[in-house]
């Protein structure tokens, strides 16, 4: 049976919707107190907190932009009030509207890199400060949400997003080795096409229908299917896995 550190705390950035929501739900069901971070959809975050509470778990919703240092500090302060941080899921991520590189503005690029890359670095820094045995911590697990876009490059769609996810893969390898002897495992999950709101956010609500035929298994994935992989990597069953990048992409 999968065991996770109980009576410990997990932070899920972007936990209000999609893959993050599924991760928060499953981690709470395994006994962790969960910080459900969100940036704008308070209703979604609160509904998940209520759902987790009704199922006997514990969660709180904390608003904050992962790309803003002061917000991240507030998210971690809220987590500290619940107990010992054991798991960080760096899930918050954004795409932008479909564009070629020769159309991309600096404003777009700054937003893309700030949320997707710096928004993974700052929470990870704060997690290491709490988890590392070097800093008096008891260890922990960090899981980063990358994307198969990091392998494919997403030409004609969003090379900026794909590049940011490439950075997440490299970050995973580097941080994993940096803190491997300090009780922290760092891994990434690379989802393929998953049925969430993110495609509509990029202005292509029918993106899954358009690309389904290109997926070797001929179907999109669900947020739960990604969350189960995340949960496995967070569990003791993955005790020797660090610096791993796991594709959950139906073969894509």
User: What are the residues binding ligand NAP (CB under 6 A)?
Assistant: 13-14, 16-20, 37-41, 44, 65-67, 91-94, 115, 119, 145, 147, 191, 193-194, 196-198, 201
Contact 226, 22 (CB under 8 A): yes
Residue 39 or 142 having the CB closest to ligand NAP: 39
Smallest distance, Å, CB 69 to ligand NAP? 12
Smallest distance, Å, CB 222 to ligand NAP? 10
CA distances from 200 to 94, 96, 191, 204 (A): 11, 10, 17, 5
Smallest distance, Å, CB 168 to ligand NAP? 8
What is the DSSP secondary-structure string of 83-142?
S-EEEEEE----------GGG--HHHHHHHHIIIIIHHHHHHHHHHHHH-GGGT---EEE
Residue 87 or 115 having the CB closest to ligand NAP: 115
Nearest to 131 by CA among 139, 123, 121, 120: 139
**The one catalytic residue among 38, 158, 161, 240:** 161
Smallest distance, Å, CB 49 to ligand NAP? 13
Tokens of 26: 């499953």
Strand boundaries in the chain, DSSP class E: 9-12, 33-38, 59-63, 85-90, 140-145, 184-191, 245-248
Nearest to 191 by CA among 216, 214, 225, 217: 225
Residue 5 or 202 having the CB closest to ligand NAP: 202
161 in catalytic set = yes
Residue 41 or 182 having the CB closest to ligand NAP: 41
Residue 20 or 57 having the CB closest to ligand NAP: 20
Bridge partners (DSSP) of residue 145 are 189
DSSP 154: -
Nearest to 6 by CA among 34, 32, 26, 29: 32
Smallest distance, Å, CB 19 to ligand NAP? 4
For the annotated catalytic residues, the residue numbers are 161
């Amino acid at each position: 049976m999968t065991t996770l550190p109980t009576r410990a705390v997990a932070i899920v950035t972007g936990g209000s919707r999609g893959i993050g929501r599924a991760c928060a739900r499953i981690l709470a069901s395994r006994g962790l107190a969960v910080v459900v971070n969100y940036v704008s959809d308070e209703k979604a975050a609160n509904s998940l907190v209520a759902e987790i509470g009704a199922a006997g778990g514990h969660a709180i919703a904390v608003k904050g932009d992962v790309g803003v240092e002061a917000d991240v500090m507030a998210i971690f302060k809220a987590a500290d009030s619940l107990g010992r941080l054991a798991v960080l899921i760096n899930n918050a991520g954004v795409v932008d509207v479909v564009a070629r590189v020769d159309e991309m503005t600096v404003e777009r690029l700054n937003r893309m890199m700030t949320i997707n890359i710096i928004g993974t670095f700052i929470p990870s820094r704060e997690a290491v400060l709490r988890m590392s045995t070097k800093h008096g911590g008891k260890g922990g697990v960090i899981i980063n949400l990358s994307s198969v876009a990091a392998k494919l490059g997403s030409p004609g769609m969003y090379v900026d997003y794909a590049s940011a996810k490439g950075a997440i893969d490299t970050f995973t390898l580097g941080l994993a080795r940096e803190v491997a002897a300090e009780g922290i495992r760092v891994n990434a999950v690379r989802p393929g096409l998953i049925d969430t709101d993110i495609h509509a956010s990029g202005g292509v609500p029918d993106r899954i229908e358009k690309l389904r035929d290109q997926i070797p298994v001929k179907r999109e994935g669900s947020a739960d299917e990604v969350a189960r992989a995340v949960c496995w990597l967070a569990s003791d069953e993955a005790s020797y896995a660090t610096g791993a990048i796991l594709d959950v992409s139906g073969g894509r």
